Structures are given as structure tokens and as C-alpha cells.
Amino acid sequence: MDWHVYRTKQLKARGSTDWDIRKATQRGDLNPLRPGWYAAAGADPTVVAAVRAGGVLSCVSALRMYGIWVAKNCCPGLHVRLSRHGETAGVRRCHPFGPVPPTDQPVDALPAAFACAYHCMSTEEWIAAVDSALNRRLVTVDELLAAWPHVPSEVRRALDRTNGRAESGTETFARLRLQSLGFRVHCQVYIPKVGRVDLVIGRLIIECDSEGYHSSPRQRRNDYRRDRWSQIGGWLVIRIDFVDVLNHWPEVLAEIRAITRVDRHRRRTRIAPR
Ligand SMILES: [Zn+2]
């Protein structure tokens, strides 16, 4: 990927001489960021700031740059993996687990960014970010493992809990919390006449809206249609969004417990011989 931020050796590999680089800098075509690093037109200000600070953009900031879902309130600040002589003023200094890869690209590749992010994010946030990367087919678990020479056992356990079928952070957070409480949660289940639904526990469907989701009239009509067919099929449906997961989880959980308790009771009653 071309971030429009280059090292001197990259510019020379493209045929530029020291004289060309000096002239381009004088013309303003190249903006010197620190010794050996230049920004060209189109460089992202976040990437420029990371390199100017003495490192490369990494961790949560790099994940966001790749379009991976990270909750808006998660891990503020500029996350930078500093080169050996980097300065630290005003940036969050991030370290990967395992061996430290070279800082030769302006934005860390996904394995290095995830290795750093494991220390800056909560496990829940990190799994949601990995889910998002898997879902967008930006990386696979095998590729991550192949890139990490040493994987701490807690990271391995977190990876085991990822699911690339998850379509939103809301869904990942809800799935992880419900699974940790012992619920048998099925993800992205196809139901005839309804379509794919996010989470299923018994006869309960949990539809998870992504952060900042605003449905169009057409989407809303489709949601209503899905809800009607779910009820015709004997399903119970609740809809939650990221604010519910983040700020109202005890209430949501109490509702899920109440519904699944009734659901279990109904199923037992239906099956019991008379
Ligand atoms: Zn970080």
C-alpha cells in the first residue's frame, strides 16, 4: 500500500538521486519529516504525525487506517511504534508482544499493529478488531500466527474466541459476554424467509446494529418484515446497538435471561408428555 510517505532509500530505488530529492524538497513536492523520511502530496496527516514523532503509525491508529472497526471511544491518541531513537512527546508509545519488527514502513502491517494493540486495547476490543479484519478478509488467523514467531498463551486464547462471521462490534461484544456466561450462542444463522440473523440463543434472535447505524426507510421496512417472519416462525427477537452493549449491558442481559428462561420453560412444556 502506498501511504505517500517514503524513506530516502525507497526514493532512490525509484530512480531519484540526492540532487532530485533536494530539489523536490525545495519545490515543496517532498516534505521532510525527519532525517531519511519524506511525505509527498496525498500523505495522511495521521501517518505524517507518527513518522514526524520518530516512529511509524501502529497499533490502534494503524487498525483504524486499514478500515478495521475500533469503537469510537477506544484508545484515544496517536499510537506510534517508535524507532530506536524516536521521541515520545505527545504520542502513545506502543510495543508489540514477541520480537520487535523493523520500523521501515510508515504504517505497520496488520500483524505488528495487532501485536501492539493487544497491549493497548481490552481483550474484548481486540477480539472485535480481529473479527472485523477477518470479516473484511484483510487477514486470516493463520497469517497472523505465521507472522508472530512467539504467541503468548493469552493471545492464543483470545484468537480462539474470534469469529470472522461477526458483522459488527456490537455482535462481537454481545457474543463474547454471553458465551463467557455459559450461553450457547450461534452466529450468523440462516433462517428461512427471514435471512441471516446475527446471534441466536435457543429460540431467541439477537439482532445487533453497528455503532452509529441509522437505517433508511427501506432498511427499516426490511427489518419489520424480518421481525414478522421471525415471529411467524416462533422466534423471539430483540434488537440491540453498541450503546446498549456499552452503557446498558446489565439491563440487556436481564432481558435476555428473562426471555431465554421463558423460552426454556415453553420448550419444556411443549415436549413434556401429558
Ligand atoms: Zn497502542
Alpha carbons 88 and 55: distance in angstroms, whole number:
9
> In angstroms, what is the span from residue 207 Cα to ligand 1's centroid?
31
pLDDT for position 237: 93
> In angstroms, what is the span from residue 59 Cα to ligand 1's centroid?
5
What are residue 141's DSSP bridge partners?
Answer: none
Which position has the grid cell 429460540? Answer: 203
Of 21 and 267, the structure prediction assigns the larger pLDDT to 21
CATH code assigned to 169-271:
3.40.960.10
> In angstroms, what is the span from residue 7 Cα to ligand 1's centroid?
23
pLDDT in tens, 211-224: 776 778 898 898 88
> In angstroms, what is the span from residue 30 Cα to ligand 1's centroid?
28
pLDDT for position 271: 46
> In angstroms, what is the span from residue 112 Cα to ligand 1's centroid?
11
pLDDT for position 261: 87
Q: pLDDT grade, residue 149 (50/70/90)?
A: confident
Which position has the grid cell 525507497? Answer: 10
Cell numbers placing 171: 455482535
> In angstroms, what is the span from residue 115 Cα to ligand 1's centroid?
9
> In angstroms, what is the span from residue 60 Cα to ligand 1's centroid?
6
Is residue 260 a contact partner of residue 204, using CB atoms and an 8 Å limit? Answer: yes
Alpha carbons 146 and 71: distance in angstroms, whole number:
27
> In angstroms, what is the span from residue 64 Cα to ligand 1's centroid?
12
> In angstroms, what is the span from residue 92 Cα to ligand 1's centroid?
6
> In angstroms, what is the span from residue 139 Cα to ligand 1's centroid?
19
Query: Any idea where the domains of the chain sit in the sequence?
Result: 59-78+97-160, 169-271
What does the pLDDT average to over 88-117? 88
DSSP 204-273: EEEEEPPTT----HHHHHHHHHHHHHHHHTT-EEEEE-HHHHHH-HHHHHHHHHHHHHHHHHHHHHHHS-
pLDDT in tens, 47-67: 999 999 999 999 999 999 999
Alpha carbons 210 and 191: distance in angstroms, whole number:
21
> In angstroms, what is the span from residue 246 Cα to ligand 1's centroid?
21
What does the pLDDT average to over 29-46? 95
> In angstroms, what is the span from residue 243 Cα to ligand 1's centroid?
24
Alpha carbons 77 and 17: distance in angstroms, whole number:
36
> In angstroms, what is the span from residue 33 Cα to ligand 1's centroid?
21
What does the pLDDT average to over 176-199? 95
> In angstroms, what is the span from residue 73 Cα to ligand 1's centroid?
14
